[in-house]
Amino acid sequence: MLTVTALTKRYGGRTAVDDLTFTVEPGRVTGFLGPNGAGKSTTMRLLLGLARPTSGEALVNGREYARLTAPAREAGALLDPRAAHPGRTGRAHLLAKALITGVPRTRVDEVLDEVGLTEAAGRRVGGYSLGMRQRLGVADALLGDPGTLLFDEPVNGLDLDGVRWMRDLARRLADEGRTVFVSSHLMSEMELVADHLVVVGRGRLIADASLGEVIAAWSRTHVLVRSPEAGALGARLERLGPPVRVEDDGDGGLRVFGLTAEAVGDHAHEAGARVHALAREEASLEQAYLELTDETVEFGAHGKETGA
């Protein structure tokens, strides 16, 4: 389990993490989302004892990482795929860590096989592709067979097969009862693998809820209706008032928020409006995420700065 309580980290006059509180529970994949500069990587570094908080707590299984008796056996992490020395082979990198952390040498070959690097284990890391370095970083995280895993942008550089492998791995680890905390900018992947989401912006918590709750609360799920009498139908629906809202889709149709497709069809019938198309359009995590973080992005379109 990961516990963040009133966590703040300042670098000079800049606040990277601002009074952040959330818990990452075992047995589920928790996605960690936010724009560039939102404080995600800093939060993970604070959890792993790689930086000290200005105030507040970042705990692994109820303790600071530095105070864990066998940290490699309790928490594993992939923060930077470039962490391994380029002059070492993949196997040598893992053997060195196994020796330092007291993990059996046999575990090295097990994790190399699990991440698909057995054949490349004797090659120097400097000759690895980014995807191979990512896989080595995952092997490093898994080496101590820990109950808690933190992955920062783990699918960067992976091909489609690798992305699917990483998705399946995260799901399996969570199903085994482990705590899995994954940051990513790929909303499509998070929508496929995450059970719960923690969303931050400018170091502050924006949302801490299940995937379904985030999409339902901050998305633009709506009913699309096309009718030759769209104007009259839209006027009738607008008279219903909140939470019903009507937008012109710019292509002769209406987007109706706050009503089911069946209700829209009933209103169309009562208004005598012919309906040529009627469908519920489900929102995606990407849409919900953009709604959530719209005011917290560091840079807007064309590089225009929108916030400090």
d(CA 17, CA 37): 10
Q: Give the residue from 185, 216, 247 where a domain finishes.
A: 216
Residue 292 lies in a domain: no
Environment class of 182 (CB within 10 Å of its CB; exposed 0-12, middle 13-18, buried 19+): buried
The pLDDT, as a whole number, for residue 88 is 97
d(CA 255, CA 2): 41
Selected residue with higher pLDDT from 288 and 177: 177
The pLDDT, as a whole number, for residue 265 is 95
Same domain? For 168 and 247 the reply is: no
For residues 138 and 154, the answer to whether their CB atoms sit within 8 Å is yes
The pLDDT, as a whole number, for residue 160 is 93
Q: Residue 29 pLDDT more than 90?
A: yes
Give per-residue pLDDT as tens, 100-159.
999 999 999 999 999 999 999 999 999 999 999 999 999 999 999 999 999 999 999 899
Same domain? For 112 and 59 the reply is: yes
Same domain? For 151 and 65 the reply is: yes
The pLDDT, as a whole number, for residue 288 is 83
- Omega before 243 cis (within 30°)? yes
DSSP string, 75-128: EEEES-TT-S-TTSBHHHHHHHHHHHHT--THHHHHHHHHHT-TTTTTSBGGG-
Q: Report the SS3 class of residue 6.
A: strand
pLDDT band of residue 291 (cuts 50, 70, 90) is: confident
Same domain? For 212 and 269 the reply is: no
In whole angstroms, what separates CA 174 from the centre of its chain?
15
The pLDDT, as a whole number, for residue 293 is 85
Q: Residue 220 pLDDT more than 80?
A: no
Same domain? For 57 and 196 the reply is: yes
Edge to edge, what strands does the sheet with 277-281 contain?
A: 245-248, 253-257, 222-226, 277-281
Q: Report the SS3 class of residue 135.
A: helix
Residue 139 lies in a domain: yes
Give the chain's domain count. 2
Average pLDDT of the chain is 91
Residue 238 lies in a domain: yes
Domain hosting 258: range is 222-281
Lowest mean pLDDT among 11-20, 59-68, 214-223, 267-276: 214-223
Write down the pTM of the prediction: 0.81
Cα distances (Å, whole numbers) of residue 78 to 111, 156, 298: 14, 12, 25
Tell me, what CATH number does 202's domain have?
3.40.50.300
pLDDT band of residue 219 (cuts 50, 70, 90) is: low
pLDDT band of residue 300 (cuts 50, 70, 90) is: low
Residue 231 lies in a domain: yes
Same domain? For 136 and 248 the reply is: no
**Mean pLDDT computed over 4-29:** 97
Which bin fits 29, alpha (ψ -120 to 50), beta or left (φ > 0)?
Answer: beta
Task: Name the strand (E) or helix (H) holding 175.
Answer: helix 160-175
Residue 25 lies in a domain: yes
